[in-house]
A and B are shown apart, each in its own frame.
Chain A
Amino acid sequence: MRSLRLPRSPKVIIGLVIVGFFIIMTVIGPWLAPYDPSSTAFAPLLSPSAHHWLGTTSLGQDIFSQLLVGARATMVVALLAGLAATILSMTVGIAAGYLGGWSDEGLSLVSNVFLAIPGVPLLIVIDSYLPVNSRSNFFVIGLIISLTGWAWGARVLRAQTMSLRNRDFVEAARIIGEKRTRIMFTEVAPNLLPVLASSFLFTVLYSIGAYVTLAYIGLTSTAVWNWGTMLYWAQANNAPLSGEWYWFVPPGICIALVGTGLALVNFGIDEFINPRLRAGGLTARQRRQLGLPRRIRLGLTPVLHASSKPKIVPAHAKLVSQ
């Protein structure tokens, strides 16, 4: 079995560092926050200073505290939605790909329908009908977001399952008389791990965007601090146009950074799944160590020759053996 180590390209490392940083912020952010994010005890619209690193809002709330506290809601909802959507897409995708026939037709139709309906407008409709107290519930919001975000993963997983279902080891499990659900979840699913991981990260990325969008147009409870509500209040008080950049820029940058981190890690997974991409993703230094030309003009997966390679480094040897 192939080892699950990601290629050690700088892209992946940077991505992992960014994601790791924000996960830590999710866990300890609310404890680190110097003030209560809702407290209006300070002077309004203070510029950043030693006391208020990011200044205060027009209501005199500490923006830095809001940013730290807001990380948790944003990340938790996105992770919940990503998890729920991945479970859903795994079930539907693998079942459709493995069972084939009418089950496949039906399940594919459902996922294609969900893929074609624009997710965020649907979310807005559903959310606008929710009672206000449900809008602050992480689980409710997370589940609704996952409902609009699972279909893409299901489609990818279905295609991958179809390429696996006639392999020998699956055939063997079938002949032994394993139950279908067992084959699907213990034989097929583990081999889809990279695809599953990629689809999970993608859904988390989508969920952050969706949640922040809902918050930005005022459709999540304003009692819960997340980066979207921060932007909502900044916009509602005309912070962008009156030049209070410290109010609306930090949450936006945080959202973008988390997204960048997730996308970079996903890049690594893509390179893991697709060896051709991996060769394309090597850095100049790695390529020099491998004895490859500086620029690969023709797009063959690079092949190493013993003569051009003084010493084989184990991590790179894998590249060749595949």
Chain B
Amino acid sequence: MLARRLLLYIVTAWVAITANFLLPRMMPGNPIQTLIGKITNTVTPEEIRAIRLSFGLGFHQGLVAQYFTYLTQLVHGNLGISITLGAPVSSILREAVPWTVGLIGLSTIFSFAIGTFGGALLGWTRGSRLDSLIPTATFFQAVPYFFLATVMLLLFGSDLHWFPVLGAYSPTVTQGWNLAYIESVIRYGELPLIAIVLSSLAGWMLGMRNMMITMIGEDFVLMAVAKGLPRRKVIWHAARNAILPSIANLSLAIGLVVSGALLVELVFNYPGVGDLLLQAVLNEDYPLIQGIFLVITLAVLAANFLADIVYLWLDPRTRTVAAV
């Protein structure tokens, strides 16, 4: 099963890479040519040559030859040169990626853990007063991440001053491995983290609730009760089985969470990939946009693969049956 999934991710990565190659070449209106016309004054001829080369303009190469040049560049970690920042895309990304991975990774773990736990509880106590949480949860699920983040920034950051806002650390501390800096990073990360967790929590919770209710009707749960197991154990028994589809759904969810969380960075001016992406879009910095897309896709695929490994570890059945 794992080999099959890995194959899928490799194919997906290849599709994303190829789409990245084909899109600028196939789009109507020749966006790259327009772009070069616009930046001629601000960029050295050397750099324009490099941009032309990476988009295959004016070098009378066949598409296939261009494709291989592109792939070779990619293998060497060369993602082209950012038009507005004038630096290699790969080195710009190297600065931004750790922030994003830290923020989104942590918030995904938190929201998955809290949501699954809450969902199991909601499923077990279905029909009780706790059910009135469902419409509220649905509302939070439907609020765009960036809107919730804006409201929280306004309320808890600027009005109540409970959290520091804008940026990832206090401008007064020196960066590096010192306590003040680490503390500041944590303090500045709290509000964005809470915003992402609140937005993504409901999805896990509602999914888990539904799975739990379905699971509770299964015979093995009845059996567990009939044996006279304490209720805590019965719940755990059912929840362990209900959690499997949740993990299987991670592939869909991770993509959505990442897409939403990128915009939260933007609201909080968090120096991650999301903020970078907005600047790149505003400036029509195509090499940077494409580099970011590629990095996000690869990161999401890696997270998917991790989820698959966890799934395999939790569900012994998948180890013998070759089913996806």
- Is there contact, CB below 8 Å, between B20 and A112? no
- Is there contact, CB below 8 Å, between B255 and A117? yes
B227 to chain A, nearest CB (A): 13
Does residue B83 face the partner (Cβ distance < 8 Å to A)? no
Contacts of B141 in A (CB 8 A): 259-260, 263
A212 to chain B, nearest CB (A): 6
Complex CA gap A216/B274 in Å reads 13
Residues 131-172 of B contacting A (Cβ, < 8 Å):
134-135, 138-139, 141-144, 146-147, 150-151, 153-154, 158
State the main secondary structure of chain B at its contact with A: helix
Complex CA gap A164/B273 in Å reads 45
Residues 109-133 of A contacting B (Cβ, < 8 Å):
109, 112-113, 115-122, 124-126, 128-131
Which single member of A118, A249, A257, A294 contacts B255 (CB below 8 Å)? A118
Contacts of B8 in A (CB 8 A): 109, 112-113, 116
Which B-chain residue is minimally distant from A151 (CB atoms)?
B252
- Is there contact, CB below 8 Å, between B126 and A240? no
Complex CA gap A126/B23 in Å reads 7
Contacts of B304 in A (CB 8 A): 116
A213-B259, A287-B127 given as contacts; is B143 within 8 A of A259 (CB)? yes
A131-B28, A280-B126 given as contacts; is B144 within 8 A of A213 (CB)? yes
- Is there contact, CB below 8 Å, between A260 and B289? no
- Is there contact, CB below 8 Å, between A298 and B225? yes
A212-B144, A264-B138 given as contacts; is B154 within 8 A of A240 (CB)? yes
- Is there contact, CB below 8 Å, between A295 and B128? yes
- Is there contact, CB below 8 Å, between B281 and A218? yes
Complex CA gap A212/B150 in Å reads 15
- Is there contact, CB below 8 Å, between B301 and A116? yes
- Among B12, B266, B286, max chain A CB count under 10 A is at B12
Contacts of B138 in A (CB 8 A): 259-260, 263-264, 267
Contacts of B179 in A (CB 8 A): none
A51 to chain B, nearest CB (A): 26
Which B-chain residue is minimally distant from A133 (CB atoms)?
B29
Contacts of A299 in B (CB 8 A): 213, 215-217, 221, 238
A299 to chain B, nearest CB (A): 3
Contacts of A209 in B (CB 8 A): 144, 260
Contacts of B11 in A (CB 8 A): 109, 113
- Is there contact, CB below 8 Å, between B142 and A252? no
Complex CA gap A209/B123 in Å reads 27
Does residue B3 face the partner (Cβ distance < 8 Å to A)? no
Which B-chain residue is minimally distant from A282 (CB atoms)?
B127
- Is there contact, CB below 8 Å, between A124 and B293? yes
Contacts of B259 in A (CB 8 A): 118-121, 213
Which A-chain residue is minimally distant from B258 (CB atoms)?
A118
Contacts of A129 in B (CB 8 A): 23-24, 27, 31, 286
Contacts of B296 in A (CB 8 A): 118, 121
Contact residue range for chain A?
35 or more
Contacts of A255 in B (CB 8 A): 142-144, 147
Of the listed stretches A32-40, A60-68, A270-278, chain B binds A270-278
Complex CA gap A116/B28 in Å reads 27
Which single member of B20, B213, B263 contacts A277 (CB below 8 Å)? B213
Contacts of A264 in B (CB 8 A): 135, 138
Complex CA gap A231/B290 in Å reads 25
- Is there contact, CB below 8 Å, between B143 and A11? no
Does residue B309 face the partner (Cβ distance < 8 Å to A)? no
A121-B293, A125-B289 given as contacts; is B135 within 8 A of A260 (CB)? yes
- What residues of chain B have their CB less than 8 Å away from a CB belonging to chain A? 8-9, 11-12, 15-16, 19-20, 23-24, 27-29, 31, 123, 125-128, 134-135, 138-139, 141-144, 146-147, 150-151, 153-154, 158, 210, 213-217, 221-222, 225, 238, 251-252, 254-256, 258-260, 262-263, 266, 277-278, 281-282, 284, 286, 289-290, 292-293, 296-297, 300-301, 304
Across the A-B interface, give the 4 residue pairs with the lowest CB-CB distance, nearest first: A299-B216, A259-B142, A120-B259, A252-B147
Can you report 29 residue pairs joining A to B where beta carbons are below 8 Å apart? A14-B135, A113-B12, A120-B256, A120-B259, A121-B259, A121-B277, A121-B297, A122-B297, A124-B277, A124-B289, A125-B290, A129-B24, A206-B256, A213-B263, A216-B263, A217-B281, A243-B154, A255-B147, A257-B142, A259-B139, A259-B143, A264-B135, A276-B214, A277-B213, A280-B126, A284-B127, A295-B125, A299-B238, A300-B222
